[in-house]
């Protein structure tokens, strides 16, 4: 492997981690807007999403260029495939942050409601999963990547709890169904944050072991 090729791979890894940091910031802002019901901060999440989109395109184009120029094989090819897929998952994480922000903008305009659901634990777990998945990429840490997979069920349980409680509230507060529907949609978007973090961890496992474990395959074997 040439020194130039090594440098290009190293640059790609640094760039994907830069994108990861951008996405983590977006998710933090979305979480804060959710906690504080802050429509202004939510709007900031929405209008800065283009930066993530642009970086995602830049990374994909660079990966394709490297593949065309160097025709990598074995672990180098796995690395590039994993980066392309992780790149896509990070862009989708940014989209979910925007989805949360859009719900908050709507909720913030509506009158205060006696019912609410505290998403702070759920979104914190999703944020931790994202951080762990990126750390597993940095350090090629197989154990940490598998740990991310095992945490996904915890987020799903909170989503189910939110669904049950909000569904019950809908029968009692039929005068404010719009508010409750938007509150329910937040649970779906936060769950998707965790799902995308899980997908990143799965790609890290593929990068390290060369095994595709999507769709629950070997999910808890470590």
What's the per-residue H, E or C state across 87-138?
A: HHHHHHHHHHHHHHHHHHHHHHHCCCCCCCCCCHHHHHHHHHHHHHHHHHHH
Domains and CATH numbers, the chain: 3-209 (1.20.58.220)
Please report which confidence band the pLDDT of residue 59 belongs to, taking 50, 70 and 90 as the band edges.
Answer: very high
pLDDT 10s digits, 166-184: 999 999 988 889 999 999 9
pLDDT confidence of residue 175: 85
pTM above 0.95, yes or no: no
Q: How confident is the model at residue 217 (pLDDT cuts 50, 70, 90)?
A: low
Residue 215: predicted pLDDT: 65
Orientation of helix 120-139 relative to helix 3-36, angle to 10°: 170
- Cα torsion 146, 23, 106, 162 to 10°: value is 10
Average pLDDT over residues 53-57: 98
Instruction: Give the mean pLDDT of the chain.
Output: 93
């Amino acid at each position: 492997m040439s020194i130039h090729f090594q440098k290009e791979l190293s640059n790609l890894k640094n760039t994907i981690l830069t994108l990861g940091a951008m996405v983590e910031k977006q998710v933090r802002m979305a979480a804060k807007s959710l906690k504080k019901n802050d429509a202004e901060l939510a709007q900031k999440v929405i209008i800065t999403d283009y930066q993530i989109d642009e970086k995602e395109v830049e990374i994909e184009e660079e990966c394709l260029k490297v593949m065309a120029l160097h025709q990598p094989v074995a672990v180098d090819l796995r690395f590039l495939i994993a980066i392309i897929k992780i790149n896509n998952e990070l862009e989708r994480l940014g989209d979910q942050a925007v989805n949360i922000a859009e719900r908050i903008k709507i909720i913030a305009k509506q009158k205060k409601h006696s019912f609410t659901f505290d998403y702070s634990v759920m979104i914190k777990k999703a944020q931790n999963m994202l951080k762990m998945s990126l750390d597993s990429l940095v350090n090629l840490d197989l154990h940490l990547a598998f740990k991310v997979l095992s945490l996904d069920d915890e987020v799903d349980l909170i989503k189910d709890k939110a669904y049950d409680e909000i569904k019950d509230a809908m029968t009692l507060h039929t005068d404010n169904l719009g508010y409750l529907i938007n509150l329910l949609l937040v649970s779906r978007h936060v769950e998707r944050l965790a799902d995308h973090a899980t997908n990143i961890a799965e790609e890290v496992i593929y990068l390290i072991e060369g095994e595709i474990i999507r769709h629950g395959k070997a999910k808890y074997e470590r």
